[in-house]
Chains A and B, each alone.
Chain A
Amino acid sequence: SQELEQSPQSLIVQEGKNLTINCTSSKTLYGLYWYKQKYGEGLIFLMMLQKGGEEKSHEKITAKLDEKKQQSSLHITASQPSHAGIYLCGADDNNNDMRFGAGTRLTVKP
Protein backbone atom coordinates (compact mmCIF):
# COMPACT_ATOMS: atom_id res chain seq x y z
CA SER A 1 0.00 0.00 0.00
CA GLN A 2 1.03 3.56 -0.48
CA GLU A 3 2.83 5.17 2.40
CA LEU A 4 3.15 8.85 2.99
CA GLU A 5 5.86 10.28 5.17
CA GLN A 6 5.47 13.77 6.52
CA SER A 7 8.16 15.96 7.98
CA PRO A 8 8.55 17.48 10.40
CA GLN A 9 6.24 15.74 12.84
CA SER A 10 5.81 18.93 14.79
CA LEU A 11 6.77 22.51 14.26
CA ILE A 12 6.78 25.54 16.52
CA VAL A 13 7.29 28.89 14.87
CA GLN A 14 7.05 32.51 15.86
CA GLU A 15 4.19 34.47 14.36
CA GLY A 16 5.22 36.06 11.11
CA LYS A 17 7.75 33.42 10.20
CA ASN A 18 7.61 31.26 7.08
CA LEU A 19 7.53 27.48 7.27
CA THR A 20 7.48 24.42 5.03
CA ILE A 21 5.97 20.98 5.55
CA ASN A 22 6.95 18.08 3.32
CA CYS A 23 5.12 14.97 2.23
CA THR A 24 6.94 12.12 0.49
CA SER A 25 5.24 9.15 -1.08
CA SER A 26 6.57 5.61 -1.41
CA LYS A 27 4.74 5.29 -4.74
CA THR A 28 3.89 7.41 -7.73
CA LEU A 29 1.56 10.22 -6.87
CA TYR A 30 -1.58 10.55 -8.94
CA GLY A 31 -3.28 13.00 -6.69
CA LEU A 32 -1.99 14.69 -3.58
CA TYR A 33 -4.29 16.40 -1.13
CA TRP A 34 -3.59 18.69 1.75
CA TYR A 35 -5.96 18.92 4.71
CA LYS A 36 -5.89 20.83 7.95
CA GLN A 37 -7.27 19.52 11.20
CA LYS A 38 -7.82 21.32 14.44
CA TYR A 39 -7.37 18.97 17.36
CA GLY A 40 -10.49 16.88 17.98
CA GLU A 41 -12.25 18.10 14.86
CA GLY A 42 -12.80 17.02 11.31
CA LEU A 43 -10.58 17.84 8.38
CA ILE A 44 -10.76 20.90 6.20
CA PHE A 45 -9.72 20.52 2.58
CA LEU A 46 -6.96 22.93 1.57
CA MET A 47 -5.68 21.97 -1.86
CA MET A 48 -5.41 19.24 -4.40
CA LEU A 49 -2.45 18.76 -6.73
CA GLN A 50 -2.56 16.42 -9.68
CA LYS A 51 0.14 17.34 -12.14
CA GLY A 52 3.87 17.38 -11.74
CA GLY A 53 5.10 20.89 -11.16
CA GLU A 54 1.65 22.07 -10.20
CA GLU A 55 1.51 24.80 -7.62
CA LYS A 56 -1.56 26.17 -5.90
CA SER A 57 -2.10 28.91 -3.41
CA HIS A 58 -4.83 29.70 -0.95
CA GLU A 59 -4.37 32.89 1.01
CA LYS A 60 -0.91 32.53 2.52
CA ILE A 61 -0.60 28.81 1.94
CA THR A 62 1.13 27.45 -1.16
CA ALA A 63 1.50 23.81 -2.12
CA LYS A 64 3.67 22.29 -4.83
CA LEU A 65 3.88 18.85 -6.34
CA ASP A 66 7.15 17.36 -7.51
CA GLU A 67 6.01 14.26 -9.33
CA LYS A 68 9.50 12.97 -10.06
CA LYS A 69 10.47 13.12 -6.44
CA GLN A 70 7.07 11.80 -5.40
CA GLN A 71 6.93 14.70 -3.03
CA SER A 72 4.78 17.66 -2.15
CA SER A 73 5.54 20.65 0.01
CA LEU A 74 3.22 23.01 1.82
CA HIS A 75 4.56 26.47 2.49
CA ILE A 76 3.01 29.04 4.80
CA THR A 77 4.13 32.63 4.49
CA ALA A 78 4.02 35.02 7.44
CA SER A 79 2.39 32.47 9.75
CA GLN A 80 -0.39 33.50 12.09
CA PRO A 81 -1.91 31.82 15.15
CA SER A 82 -4.90 30.88 12.98
CA HIS A 83 -2.60 28.63 10.98
CA ALA A 84 -2.04 26.40 13.99
CA GLY A 85 -3.32 22.86 13.68
CA ILE A 86 -2.43 19.52 12.21
CA TYR A 87 -1.63 19.41 8.52
CA LEU A 88 -2.21 16.12 6.78
CA CYS A 89 -1.27 15.10 3.30
CA GLY A 90 -3.35 12.43 1.62
CA ALA A 91 -3.00 10.45 -1.58
CA ASP A 92 -5.11 8.01 -3.54
CA ASP A 93 -4.04 4.41 -3.51
CA ASN A 94 -4.76 1.83 -6.20
CA ASN A 95 -8.29 1.34 -4.92
CA ASN A 96 -8.96 5.08 -5.01
CA ASP A 97 -9.06 5.13 -1.22
CA MET A 98 -7.31 7.98 0.46
CA ARG A 99 -4.37 7.32 2.75
CA PHE A 100 -2.87 9.93 5.00
CA GLY A 101 0.54 10.84 6.29
CA ALA A 102 1.13 10.94 10.01
CA GLY A 103 0.50 14.68 10.10
CA THR A 104 2.50 17.73 11.12
CA ARG A 105 1.43 19.54 14.25
CA LEU A 106 1.98 23.26 13.81
CA THR A 107 2.10 25.70 16.71
CA VAL A 108 2.39 29.41 16.02
CA LYS A 109 3.52 31.51 18.94
CA PRO A 110 2.16 35.04 19.08
Chain B
Amino acid sequence: GAVVSQHPSRVICKSGTSVKIECRSLDFQATTMFWYRQFPKKSLMLMATSNEGSKATYEQGVEKDKFLINHASLTLSTLTVTSAHPEDSSFYICSARRAGGRSGANVLTFGAGSRLTVL
Protein backbone atom coordinates (compact mmCIF):
# COMPACT_ATOMS: atom_id res chain seq x y z
CA GLY B 1 0.00 0.00 0.00
CA ALA B 2 0.89 3.66 -0.29
CA VAL B 3 3.23 4.85 2.44
CA VAL B 4 4.26 8.39 3.31
CA SER B 5 7.21 8.92 5.58
CA GLN B 6 7.49 12.15 7.53
CA HIS B 7 10.68 13.15 9.32
CA PRO B 8 11.45 14.14 11.98
CA SER B 9 8.57 12.98 14.14
CA ARG B 10 9.62 15.33 16.91
CA VAL B 11 11.87 18.33 16.91
CA ILE B 12 12.76 20.89 19.53
CA CYS B 13 14.52 24.03 18.48
CA LYS B 14 15.49 27.42 19.82
CA SER B 15 13.60 30.53 18.87
CA GLY B 16 15.07 32.15 15.76
CA THR B 17 16.35 28.97 14.17
CA SER B 18 14.94 27.23 11.11
CA VAL B 19 13.55 23.72 11.01
CA LYS B 20 13.02 21.51 7.98
CA ILE B 21 10.41 18.77 7.86
CA GLU B 22 10.51 16.18 5.10
CA CYS B 23 7.62 14.32 3.55
CA ARG B 24 8.42 11.37 1.30
CA SER B 25 6.16 9.04 -0.64
CA LEU B 26 7.97 5.73 -0.38
CA ASP B 27 6.29 3.53 -2.93
CA PHE B 28 4.43 5.86 -5.25
CA GLN B 29 4.85 9.12 -7.07
CA ALA B 30 2.98 12.08 -5.67
CA THR B 31 2.20 14.95 -8.00
CA THR B 32 0.60 16.86 -5.18
CA MET B 33 1.46 17.05 -1.52
CA PHE B 34 -0.39 18.93 1.16
CA TRP B 35 0.82 20.42 4.38
CA TYR B 36 -1.46 20.77 7.37
CA ARG B 37 -1.09 22.23 10.79
CA GLN B 38 -3.01 20.92 13.75
CA PHE B 39 -3.51 22.69 17.03
CA PRO B 40 -4.35 20.75 20.19
CA LYS B 41 -7.85 19.32 20.05
CA LYS B 42 -8.44 21.01 16.72
CA SER B 43 -8.87 19.77 13.21
CA LEU B 44 -6.31 19.92 10.46
CA MET B 45 -5.78 23.31 8.89
CA LEU B 46 -4.59 23.23 5.31
CA MET B 47 -1.49 25.41 5.01
CA ALA B 48 -0.43 24.90 1.45
CA THR B 49 -0.62 22.70 -1.58
CA SER B 50 2.59 21.84 -3.33
CA ASN B 51 2.84 20.51 -6.84
CA GLU B 52 6.02 18.95 -8.13
CA GLY B 53 8.15 21.41 -10.04
CA SER B 54 6.08 24.49 -9.30
CA LYS B 55 5.54 26.98 -6.52
CA ALA B 56 3.34 26.03 -3.63
CA THR B 57 -0.12 27.50 -3.28
CA TYR B 58 -0.61 28.91 0.18
CA GLU B 59 -3.87 29.30 2.02
CA GLN B 60 -4.99 32.70 3.10
CA GLY B 61 -3.27 33.80 6.25
CA VAL B 62 -0.28 31.48 5.88
CA GLU B 63 2.99 33.36 5.51
CA LYS B 64 4.94 32.20 2.47
CA ASP B 65 8.22 33.51 3.77
CA LYS B 66 7.67 31.89 7.11
CA PHE B 67 6.73 28.44 5.86
CA LEU B 68 8.86 27.58 2.85
CA ILE B 69 7.66 24.63 0.85
CA ASN B 70 9.69 22.86 -1.77
CA HIS B 71 8.49 19.96 -3.91
CA ALA B 72 11.56 19.17 -5.94
CA SER B 73 10.67 15.65 -6.94
CA LEU B 74 7.67 13.39 -7.25
CA THR B 75 8.54 11.72 -3.98
CA LEU B 76 9.72 14.53 -1.74
CA SER B 77 8.27 17.72 -0.35
CA THR B 78 9.82 19.76 2.42
CA LEU B 79 8.41 22.34 4.81
CA THR B 80 10.90 24.74 6.36
CA VAL B 81 9.76 26.84 9.28
CA THR B 82 12.05 29.84 9.15
CA SER B 83 13.04 31.93 12.15
CA ALA B 84 10.81 29.81 14.33
CA HIS B 85 8.99 31.32 17.30
CA PRO B 86 7.16 29.66 20.16
CA GLU B 87 3.82 30.33 18.48
CA ASP B 88 4.96 28.12 15.60
CA SER B 89 4.97 25.16 17.95
CA SER B 90 2.43 22.76 16.58
CA PHE B 91 1.81 19.40 14.97
CA TYR B 92 2.50 19.46 11.24
CA ILE B 93 1.18 16.73 8.95
CA CYS B 94 1.80 16.14 5.29
CA SER B 95 -0.22 14.12 2.86
CA ALA B 96 0.34 12.98 -0.68
CA ARG B 97 -1.92 12.29 -3.61
CA ARG B 98 -0.84 9.59 -5.99
CA ALA B 99 0.04 10.64 -9.51
CA GLY B 100 -2.37 9.39 -12.15
CA GLY B 101 -5.02 8.59 -9.61
CA ARG B 102 -8.56 7.71 -10.62
CA SER B 103 -10.53 10.75 -11.60
CA GLY B 104 -12.70 11.97 -8.81
CA ALA B 105 -10.84 10.02 -6.19
CA ASN B 106 -8.84 12.13 -3.83
CA VAL B 107 -7.66 9.52 -1.38
CA LEU B 108 -4.69 10.90 0.38
CA THR B 109 -1.98 9.11 2.27
CA PHE B 110 -0.83 10.91 5.37
CA GLY B 111 2.50 11.03 7.09
CA ALA B 112 2.67 10.33 10.80
CA GLY B 113 3.16 14.00 11.59
CA SER B 114 5.92 16.10 13.09
CA ARG B 115 5.63 17.77 16.46
CA LEU B 116 7.56 20.99 16.57
CA THR B 117 8.38 22.67 19.86
CA VAL B 118 10.06 26.06 19.74
CA LEU B 119 11.66 27.15 22.98
Collect the chain B residues with CB atoms within 8 Å of residue A95's CB.
49, 57
Collect the chain A residues with CB atoms within 8 Å of residue B106's CB.
31, 33, 48, 92, 96, 98
Q: Which of A33, A41, A97, A100 contacts B112 (CB 8 A)?
A: A41
Q: Is B44 interfacial (CB-CB < 8 Å)? A: yes
Q: Which of A40, A50, A96, A100 contacts B43 (CB 8 A)?
A: A100
Number of CB contacts from chain A to chain B under 8 A:
58
Q: Is B115 interfacial (CB-CB < 8 Å)? A: yes
Contacting pair A42 B44 (CB below 8 A): no
CB interface residues, B 78-113, toward A, < 8 Å: 91, 93, 95, 104-113
Contacting pair B104 A101 (CB below 8 A): no
Q: Is A102 interfacial (CB-CB < 8 Å)? A: yes
Q: Is A83 interfacial (CB-CB < 8 Å)? A: no
Contacting pair B112 A31 (CB below 8 A): no
Contacting pair B108 A40 (CB below 8 A): no
Q: Given the complex of chains A and B, what is the CA–CA distance between A98 and B108 in angstroms?
A: 9
CB interface residues, A 58-104, toward B, < 8 Å: 88, 92, 95-103
Q: Given the complex of chains A and B, what is the CA–CA distance between A95 and B111 in angstroms?
A: 22
Q: Is A43 interfacial (CB-CB < 8 Å)? A: yes
Which of A42, A97, A101, A105 has the most B CB atoms < 10 Å from its CB? A42
Contacting pair A41 B113 (CB below 8 A): yes
The verdict on A48 contacting B105 (CB below 8 Å), with A40-B115, A42-B6, A42-B112 known, is yes
Chain A residues within 8 Å of B, Cβ to Cβ? 30-31, 33, 35, 40-45, 48, 50, 88, 92, 95-103, 105
Chain B residues within 8 Å of A, Cβ to Cβ? 4, 6, 34, 41-44, 46, 49, 57, 91, 93, 95, 104-113, 115
Not counting A42-B111, A42-B113, A105-B41, a sample of 9 additional A-B residue pairs whose C-beta atoms are within 8 angstroms of each other reads: A30-B104, A33-B107, A35-B110, A42-B4, A43-B110, A45-B110, A50-B104, A88-B44, A102-B43
